[in-house]
Structure 1
Amino acid sequence: MPAKTSDRILLTDLAFYGYHGVMLEENKLGQRFRIDLECGIDLVAAGKSDAVEDTVSYADIYDLVKGATEDTRYKLIEALGQHIVDRMFESFAPIEWIKVRIRKPEAPIPAVSGEFAIEIYRERP
């Protein structure tokens, strides 16, 4: 099996409003989520051809992540992260691996500053 590519498409600090969380307030009022996404994809052909057909469109990735975040509710952001990964692999065959970080900057936990987050790394099965 060939080594996984180190080329990547990155979408960072995407902001969405969702209703994910264990607490009743999170499900009722919702909150902002920040998502960073890295997609491992061989970009040699796209770099040589300058053709969008040889890569995965950033706009298509954004639309998928937006839909995954806003259309379904989860108690855990771990489940949301896995849902995003699953949809990405189903939709974009060239992607070899995905790293997704989901941050909750307004989690209902008393903290002076900071945010709560998860990060998931998955390779295509």
Structure 2
Amino acid sequence: MGKIRINNMSFHTFNGVFAEEKKLGQRLQIDAELTYPIEEKVKHDDLKETVSYADVYQTIEDFVLNNNYNLIESVANHLLKKILADYPTIQAVKLKVRKYSVPIAGIFDNIEIEVSGDRHHE
């Protein structure tokens, strides 16, 4: 089964529990892995035979910029459901959502949430 990956999409969002996060916002970075039977479906070098990653990117961007949650877990779960609903030819989706500038006393790069789902478990 083929994979289409869109990596390191970055967005300035206003997700978070704390007032500073909701006011100032922070960067979220998202990786999307889409499972699609490329080997079987793409035979004629035609975009209609595959999933337009430009469309998927636009869906992700619109969702992330227009929805705010307290938890990035909620961002990931709701976005996962949206992609599966909007793109019925995609067999499965894996998302990684990374949050930077997290207000925790400590030294680390980011916090990352990973979720996955498929047609059988929508």
TM beyond 0.5? yes
1:70 aligns with 2:57: no
1:91-110 maps to which residues of 2 (within 5 A)?
91-110=86-105
Letter in 2 for 1:9: I
1:116: which partner in 2? 111
Q: Matches of 1:84 and 1:55 in 2, distance apart?
A: 21
Following TM superposition, the consecutive aligned residue runs of length 4 or more in structure 1 with deviations greater than 4 angstroms are none
Letter in 1 for 2:84: F
1:82 aligns with 2:77: yes
Q: 1:32 Cα shift?
A: 0.5
Q: Which runs of 5+ in 1 are unaligned?
A: 1-5
Superimposed CA distance per residue, residues 74-104 of structure 1 (whole angstroms, 9 cap, x where no aligned partner): 0011110111111111111111111000001
Q: Which runs of 5+ in 2 are unaligned?
A: none
Q: Matches of 1:99 and 1:60 in 2, distance apart?
A: 17
2:30: which partner in 1? 35
Q: 1:110 Cα shift?
A: 2.1
TM-score normalised by the chain length of structure 1: 0.90
Pairs aligned (count): 119
- Tell me if the contact between 2:84 and 2:118 (Cα under 8 Å) persists in the aligned partners: no
Q: Percent identity?
A: 31
Q: CA RMSD in A?
A: 1.0
